[in-house]
Amino acid sequence: MKGLKKFITGILAGAMAFSITFTAGSAMTANAADITITRDSSATQTGVDEAAVEAQTYTVYKILSAEKADNNEYTYYVTDTNQKAVLEQIGFTFSQVSVNGETRYLANFTGTDGDALAKAIQEKLSTNAFTAVATNVPATAGATKIPVGDDGYYLIISSVGTKLIANTFVDGGTVKEKNVYPTLDKKQRKENVGDYSDDKLVVKVGDIIEYSIDVTVPYNTSEDIIVLDKMSSGLELVGTPEVSGISTSYEEYAVEGYSFGFKFAKTTSTEPASQAGKITFKARVTKDAIVDTGRKNEAELRYGNYITKDEVPYGLKKTGAHKYDGVTNANLAGAEFTLEMVNGEEVTEIKVVKHDNGVYYPSDEADASSTVVSDANGLIIIRGLEDGKNYQLRETKAPEGYNLPAGDDAVFNLDLEDDTLGTDGSVSNPANLREIANYSGATLPSTGGIGTTIFYIIGGLLIVAAVVFFVVRRKADAE
């Protein structure tokens, strides 16, 4: 008995994933036992979704019956010869006694490695020698109470726990779960620009975004760890995702509706340290970002019933103009402009393509053009432009029957603003549309233009001619 007592003492000293508190039992009697499991607040991990932890379930197996005497010594035994034979395979020894006509096999175990014993017992569950006394009991907030019938030495398996618990429960007991869970943390940045962050990233169509998913893999896991990535419709995977920093074997894992995934195998390392791995990949912002209602990249980690997610959003900028009749305020279609980016004295034409929904976006496609045209509502909407730049429209062709402004009067500055979509993908016009009027009728020369200059020249010539005529006439009269 001293060997098993030493083993139990080792467990109670904290070798297991749980700590335990006993309540006193009656001498040499078996009592109804309820196991209560609570989440230890000191075990809370950064990046672990505590609500998701509560989604786990517990399954409990009775391995040995237990009785406690007045001297606080425990007696452990089985009555089933099949159970006895299985336990002997993992290091238990037994002595046979008879108690009130019942044959009992008193157990003895000389090891002190609680983790190893719990794992060994779990591996023997496939023999069906041990029957679960409680199966898939859902965890509840605060504490989970599991009736197990009577006193004994029990193996508790969590659906998401990284360790098993094998402990003695006499007249009930409470365990505080201290399992270590896998975590993930997703970040992003523009390609080769700055540090990775989980902040919203403002991009333009055509940009490349670099993503990283930090994954912490506990040193001893009871389930495979699955990491999935899902891109919203405006993102397109570039190249092949790479995994680094994890020695655990893994493989690609495809799930419908996800962009890619990896499955990390169960780990049985004896080193009490988690692995800090990283998944890196790139995505291109496509023209579909214009109508992407999600605009995010989401990572998901699955570990048994434990599921946690992390996402990083991206955003676009938009601008636009409204063309109208300067007299009647009617919308004017067909006005043509060149889209330009201004950087000091440098002016660069920006090529765009018209999306199916009538919105323009920057593009280097073969059919891209720097010309934009007002629609039937007089609108020109441009989305997905680069943030922090100055843009302008230069009118190159007025609607039929209207006058084209001259010189700098044909250039109109634009205001960039955050782009938003309705939940149904509907386009919202910029709040600060540049209002541009056109006028019909004859074109009159403006002050300081060539029209006034020619009149000055003609007027001057007429004056000179009049003076000459006057002088010649006076001279003729004098003769």
* Inter-residue contact 425 to 359 (CB < 8 Å): no
Q: What is the pLDDT of residue 33?
A: 67
Which helix H or strand E contains 461, and what residues bound it? Answer: helix 450-478
Q: What is the CA radius of gyration of the chain?
A: 40
Q: What is the pLDDT of residue 382?
A: 96
Q: What is the pLDDT of residue 14?
A: 31
CA dist., res. 230 & res. 251, Å (int) = 18
* Inter-residue contact 76 to 107 (CB < 8 Å): yes
* Inter-residue contact 282 to 208 (CB < 8 Å): yes
* Inter-residue contact 374 to 381 (CB < 8 Å): no
Q: pLDDT tens per residue, the chain (479 residues)? A: 333 333 333 333 233 333 322 232 223 333 456 888 876 654 556 667 666 666 778 899 999 998 877 777 778 999 999 999 999 999 999 999 999 999 999 999 887 677 788 888 988 998 999 989 998 888 877 788 888 878 888 888 887 665 667 677 766 677 777 667 788 999 999 999 999 999 999 999 999 999 999 998 887 677 889 999 999 999 999 999 999 998 888 999 999 999 999 999 887 665 556 788 999 999 999 999 999 989 999 999 998 778 889 999 999 999 999 999 999 999 999 999 999 999 999 999 999 999 988 999 999 888 899 999 999 999 999 999 999 999 999 999 999 999 999 888 999 999 999 998 777 767 678 988 999 999 997 555 544 445 555 666 777 777 877 766 666 666 666 66
Contacts of 4 (CB under 8 A, 6+ apart): 74, 76, 107, 108, 109
Q: What is the pLDDT of residue 238?
A: 98
Structure tokens at 397: 């062709």
User: What are the residues facing 306 on neighbouring strands?
Assistant: 303
Angle between helices 2-10 and 114-123 (to 10 degrees): 100
CA dist., res. 164 & res. 181, Å (int) = 13
* Inter-residue contact 138 to 59 (CB < 8 Å): no
CA dist., res. 77 & res. 100, Å (int) = 14
Residue 384, CA atoms < 13 Å, CB-side half-sphere:
27
From 382, 208, 349, 197, select the one nearest 286 (Cα to Cα): 208
* Inter-residue contact 34 to 147 (CB < 8 Å): yes
φ, ψ dihedrals at 379, nearest 5° = -100, 145
Architecture of domain 183-314: Sandwich (2.60)
From 401, 414, 415, 398, select the one nearest 323 (Cα to Cα): 398
Contacts of 11 (CB under 8 A, 6+ apart): 20, 114, 166, 167
Fold identical between 183-314 and 317-440? yes
89-98: burial string, b at 16+ Cβ within 10 Å, e else: eeebebeeee
CA dist., res. 246 & res. 228, Å (int) = 16
Segments of 329-442 assigned E as strands: 336-343, 346-349, 352-354, 360-362, 371-373, 379-383, 390-397, 411-413, 417-418, 434-438
pTM: 0.69
Q: What is the pLDDT of residue 449?
A: 47
* Inter-residue contact 209 to 202 (CB < 8 Å): no
Name the residue type at position 234: G
* Inter-residue contact 147 to 32 (CB < 8 Å): yes
From 277, 273, 271, select the one nearest 249 (Cα to Cα): 277
Contacts of 273 (CB under 8 A, 6+ apart): 219
Segments of 253-305 assigned E as strands: 260-264, 275-285, 296-303
CA dist., res. 250 & res. 287, Å (int) = 34
In Å, how far from its chain's centre is CA 106? 54
φ, ψ dihedrals at 360, nearest 5° = -90, 150
Architecture of domain 317-440: Sandwich (2.60)
Residue 379, CA atoms < 13 Å, CB-side half-sphere:
18
Burial (Cβ within 10 Å: 0-12, 13-18, ≥19) of residue 45:
middle
The β-bridge relationship of strands 390-397 and 411-413 is antiparallel
C-alpha distances in Å from residue 87, one per residue of 7, 18, 78, 150, 298: 15, 23, 10, 20, 46
In the β-sheet with 235-244, what is the strand arrangement from edge to edge? Answer: 183-190, 208-217, 275-285, 235-244
Name the residue type at position 253: Y
Domain segments of the chain as ranges: 1-175, 183-314, 317-440
